[in-house]
Amino acid sequence: MQLYRKFWLEKNLFMSLIVLGEPPSLANQFLNEIRGKDSQQDRLRFRRNLERMGEIMAYEISKRLSYKACLVTSPLASIKSRELISQPILVTVLRAGLPYFQGFLNYFDQADAGFIGAYRKEDGEELTINLEYLASPMVEGQEVILIDPMLATGKSFIRSINALLSHGKPAHIHLASLIASPEGIQHIKENLKIPFTIWTFSVDEKLDNRFYIVPGLGDAGDMSFGTKL
Ligand code: URA
């Protein structure tokens, strides 16, 4: 998959944006089904498509990780190969992140994982993020993949990372979204002070007045699990 990629170097901080939706691949077809107002009604398919997208993104991110030489012995002979030096730490935001996270876990199948309980609160024209739960391993010096399908305002990513920093400073943080908004990308650029890469399949048009991504897909948590009180 050839990637649309943008790099910035601001205040000596390495950051990049990688959009996996170009050139088109099967991922676009899965994303079409996730977005489509009729096709997304099939909850099992919606979750499974998110999981498949997570698998695709995990594979793409794996190309950026570090490998070491190893020797593999088949029943017939040995061959020199390469293997991951260490698995990244996977962290996801409850609850919308879960099916997408499962795709990453399928591929990084020995990874340590962390979980963050965060939810958005609309307060008139303001949106605040309440964070009430964090269970994570130490992340000091590690490659961390923070998995949340919708990069809308970017506030929940920043809030989650700030909480995660109490468990150490990652060497690099991969922000794994499915769909991103231009406003959210800008917010991350302005507020994240450690090296990072934003990964997404699509940068959509904008946020609406309720801070949902347009066209987006609606509410990812509701489509996966039903509406909550
Ligand atoms: N969360 C969602 O589920 N959808 C959006 O568009 C934004 C945040």
- pLDDT tens-digit profile of 37-72? 999 999 999 999 999 999 999 999 999 999 999 999
Residue 18 maps to which CATH number?
3.40.50.2020
DSSP at 169: -
Segment 112-146, tens digit of pLDDT: 999 999 888 887 788 899 999 999 999 999 999 99
Measured CA distances, 29 to 34, 49, 87, 94, 134 (Å): 9, 10, 29, 26, 34
| Ligand 1 midpoint to CA 163 (Å) | 21
Domain-located, residue 141: yes
Q: What percent of the chain has pLDDT over 90?
A: 85
If you take atom 3 of ligand 1, which residue's CA is the nearest one?
219
3-state class (DSSP) for residue 201: coil
Instruction: Tell me, yes or no, whether 199 lies in a domain.
Output: yes
Instruction: Give per-residue pLDDT as tens, 2-44.
Output: 456 666 655 556 789 999 998 899 999 999 999 999 999 999 9
Cβ-contact 90, 101 below 8 angstroms: yes
Amino acid letter, residue 161: I
Q: What is the mean pLDDT of residues 78-106?
A: 97
- Name the DSSP letter for residue 184: H
Would you state the pLDDT for residue 123? 78
What's the mean pLDDT in 165-174?
96
Domains identified in the chain, total number? 1
Distance of alpha carbon 100 from the chain centroid: 8
Q: Which of 31, 34, 40, 212 to mutate to test the pocket of ligand 1 (most atoms within 8 A of CB)?
A: 212
> Predicted confidence band at 1 (pLDDT cuts at 50, 70, 90)?
very low
Kindly state the DSSP code that residue 87 receives in the 8-state scheme. P
Residue 198 bridge partners (DSSP): 17, 175
In which domain, by residue range, is 124 found?
Answer: 4-67+77-225
What is the distance between the terminal CA atoms of the chain, rounded to a whole angstrom?
41
Instruction: For tokens 């979750």, name the residue.
Output: 47
| Residue 88 DSSP code | P
Percent of the chain exceeding pLDDT 70 equals 94
Specify the ligand 1 atom closest to the Cα of 220.
3
Tell me, yes or no, whether 72 lies in a domain. Answer: no
